[in-house]
A and B are shown apart, each in its own frame.
Chain A
Amino acid sequence: MRRVVEDPSDPCVRHTEEVLELRIVVRDLELRSVLASNELRELRRERDAAQKELARVAGDLAVVETQHAALTSLFVAAHQLHGTMDRETVLSRLEEIIVNFVGSEEFGVYEHTRGDELRRIAQVGMRDDVDPRLLQDLLAGIPLEIDEKRVGYIAIHRLLPHKPALEPADLELFNLLKTHAAAALLASRPSHDAQ
């Protein structure tokens, strides 16, 4: 067998060695590139999953915020109605609740007198000559009852222009007003009658 002795000073041999080394480097870089691509794909997948989770949590938070706002308005309504025994204050707070929480610009509050006559005790945006027994264009009627006794009712005729319709939160508020407004009106009646 013939033995070939390579001369290291030969430029051809040197270049061949360099090419071989570069090929190894290139292969290594290719491998790293594949690994980096895989890692990038994995990170993108994790980012997408995190974004989806974030969107879900944001949605849940919005629902909780809405529920909290509804509960807050219910609490404030009850707090305001029962925070006074003065008839005028009860009525003005009832008006504030209906204007600011329901968003009505035309409504009346009616009460059964001791002689079972129905009379209007508060109103916003209504004509003075409307007969309570002949109410027309009623959007919502909320009976005010306590212990199954009818105290009066709230008649809502029109909402503010920027509020298109009643919402579920309004119905919850109506349920609260049904008993709490009735109780507040009854509680303030003796001082009013005394006056």
Chain B
Amino acid sequence: MRTVTQGGSPHYKVTFVSYRMLPPREKKRRCFMRKKILVVDDSSTVTLMERMVLSRHAYDVVVANDGEEAIGVAKRELPDLILMDVVMPKMNGFDACKRIRQEESIHDVPIIMVTTRGEGTNVERGFESGCNDYVTKPINCTELLTKIHACIAG
């Protein structure tokens, strides 16, 4: 629970509740709401591609261009899922994933790594840093959408 004060008064009390802690009826209600996805990639080509694919399937998309920016945007936008590139400037996807898992308000947001590095060691490192799933580039849209749906529904 966090209390924010604006100019002494009035007081706004903002409570962050984990999705897993919600009652079943509230979970069901939220299932029908439009989902928000945070796309994290330093390539404008990839973010444009993912934005077009996701928008067509009724997802709202917000974008961050590196791991550091992703943490800030995630805390502000509270997305339902994060698509995270690995190789990025400032902070790579693995470190950003670890940091997100430590943040109280966003620690349980599902993260799917989307990267060209599909080697076993990289996949293993991704799961160690806390990602829920892994997709390799070039993106297979059907695979990506299936995994997104599975992560959000689960």
B116 within 8 A of partner (CB): yes
Cβ contact within 8 Å between B138 and A105: no
Q: Which residues of B contact A66 (CB under 8 A)?
A: 141-142
Which residues in chain A, 149-176, are within 8 Å of chain B measured between CB atoms?
A: 160-163
- Of B16-24, B38-46, B62-70, B90-98, which stretch is located at the interface? B38-46
Given A76-B48, A76-B49, A160-B116, decide whether A62 and B142 contact each other with a Cβ distance below 8 A: yes
Which of A72, A77, A99, A101 is close to B53, meaning CB atoms less than 8 Å apart?
Answer: A72
B75 within 8 A of partner (CB): no
Cβ contact within 8 Å between B136 and A72: no
Q: Name B142's closest neighbour in chain A (CB-CB).
A: A65
Q: Which residues of B contact A68 (CB under 8 A)?
A: 56, 141
Cβ contact within 8 Å between B52 and A97: no
**By DSSP majority rule, is chain A's interface helix, strand, loop, or mixed?**
helix
Cβ contact within 8 Å between B45 and A163: no
A69 to chain B, nearest CB (A): 4
B26 within 8 A of partner (CB): no
Cβ contact within 8 Å between B142 and A80: no
Cβ contact within 8 Å between A73 and B116: no
Given A69-B141, A80-B44, decide whether A161 and B119 contact each other with a Cβ distance below 8 A: yes
Given A103-B138, A162-B136, decide whether A79 and B48 contact each other with a Cβ distance below 8 A: yes
A145 within 8 A of partner (CB): no
Q: Which residues of B contact A106 (CB under 8 A)?
A: none
Q: Name A84's closest neighbour in chain B (CB-CB).
A: B44
B72 within 8 A of partner (CB): no
Q: Which residues of B contact A76 (CB under 8 A)?
A: 45, 48-49, 52
Cβ contact within 8 Å between A93 and B45: yes
Q: Which residues of A contact B136 (CB under 8 A)?
A: 160, 162
B137 within 8 A of partner (CB): yes
State A12–B140 Cα separation when bound (angstroms): 81
Q: List 5 A-B contacts (CB under 8 A).
A: A80-B48, A96-B46, A100-B137, A100-B139, A160-B116
The 10 closest A-B pairs by CB, nearest first: A69-B141, A162-B118, A96-B45, A103-B138, A96-B43, A76-B49, A80-B45, A100-B137, A76-B48, A72-B52
